[in-house]
Every structure is written in structure tokens, then in C-alpha cells.
Amino acid sequence: MTAKTMLLPLAFATLFSSAALAADRYTLERTQDGYVRLDTQTGAMSICKESGTELVCRAAADERAALENEVDRLTTRLGDIEKRLTALENSSILQPGELLPSEEQIDKSLDTMEKFFRRFMEVMRDVEKDATRI
């Protein structure tokens, strides 16, 4: 028996076992327009149509992959937003306690406004006095 003769049964055995594994890996479901082939290992789906004596399959739009891509994109974006928020919270620009003025700042502002209005009223009184003289 030659080496080629010994390899021939091995090649057939490999071919048939591969075909058997492929048969277990994919499932076909009949639809109105043809078939849907599901890869049970990856979850990928293909749309298949009969063309003469052959079954021709093309990849279906993989909504699952699109959804996973969108989830990954949003997860990345959320992570970036959380980093920016943490940086803002830790910055000296804006602290939660600084959103409202302190009592001291309010008193100082009111004192300034009071001085302004007192002087304004004095000016108005002077204008009235001058107006009555004319």
C-alpha cells in the first residue's frame, strides 16, 4: 500500500466529518421568499434563495452587530461625559457651594446698592430744587 493510497481514506474521513460538523453548525428555516440560514456558533444570519438547482446565500443586515456597535459607541461616549463631569466637579472654577453667594457677599452687595440709591435720591432732590427755582 502506497502513501497516496493510505491518505485517500483519511481525506474522505476528514471531508465527511467536516460536512457533518457544518450540518450541525447551520440551520435553515423556510420563509416566503426562500430560506434564512443561522450560524449556530456565531449567530450570523444569511438570506438564501433558490437559483436553479443551487441555494445561493448572502449575508443579511446584521442588526445584532449594529446594535452592539451602537452600545459600544454610547458606552464610550458616556465614559467621556463622566470624565468631563468629574473634571468639572474637581475644578476650582465651579464648586457646588459657590453656586450661591455667601452672606458676606450679599451684605456687601446690598451696602453698595444702598449707597447708590442714597446718592441717586440726593441728586434727584437737587434736580427738584433747581426745577422749582426756575
**pLDDT at site 112:** 96
| Closest CA relative to residue 34, chosen from 11, 20, 51, 12 | 51
- Per domain, the residue ranges of the chain are 3-60, 62-100, 101-134
Choose between 42 and 69: higher pLDDT: 69
CA torsion 76→80→86→88, rounded to 10°?
A: -160
Choose between 61 and 130: higher pLDDT: 130
Cα Rg of the chain, angstroms? 41
**pLDDT at site 114:** 97
Residue 57, Ramachandran bin (φ over 0: left; ψ between -120 and 50: alpha; else beta): beta
- Residue 34 burial by CB count (10 A; 0-12/13-18/19+): exposed, middle or buried? middle
